Amino acid sequence: MAARAATKEQTDTKTSPKTSLAKPWNVIVHDDPVTLMNYVTKVLVQVFGYSKDKAHRLMMEVHKTGRSIVWTGAREQAEVYAQKLQAHHLLTTLEASDE
């Protein structure tokens, strides 16, 4: 009984931060030296429905700083967006937001 309780407590401690659905997730696009800048802009317009200007701004942030958080929100949707970006071969990662 004690052993079981200890196991449950350990499991809870380990998984609870990761399974928190409320915590927002960031979709991050990273710079790479091969992908064309205007291709990145087009993909951001296509995937998120952003205006061309906003997509261009985010693309320039990727180009100048090496990365840009292009979307923040629910984990499930973040995964969908990350998958769509990787479908176009944009170097994309996911991370839980600190906010």
Residues lying near another protein in the complex (CB under 8 A):
18, 32-39, 41-42, 46, 52, 56, 60, 63-64, 79, 82-83, 86-89, 91-95
Q: Is 29 helix (H, G, I), strand (E, B) or coil?
A: strand
Q: Which is nearer to another protein, 3 or 65 (CB)?
A: 65
Q: How far is the CB of 2 from another protein (least distance, A)?
A: 27
Our CA angle for 78, 28, 17, nearest 5°, is: 55
Q: Which is nearer to another protein, 1 or 21 (CB)?
A: 21
Distance CA 45, CA 58 (A): 11
Q: How far is the CB of 67 from another protein (least distance, A)?
A: 13
Q: How far is the CB of 4 from another protein (least distance, A)?
A: 22
Residue type, 66: G
- The secondary element (H helix, E strand) that includes residue 35 is none
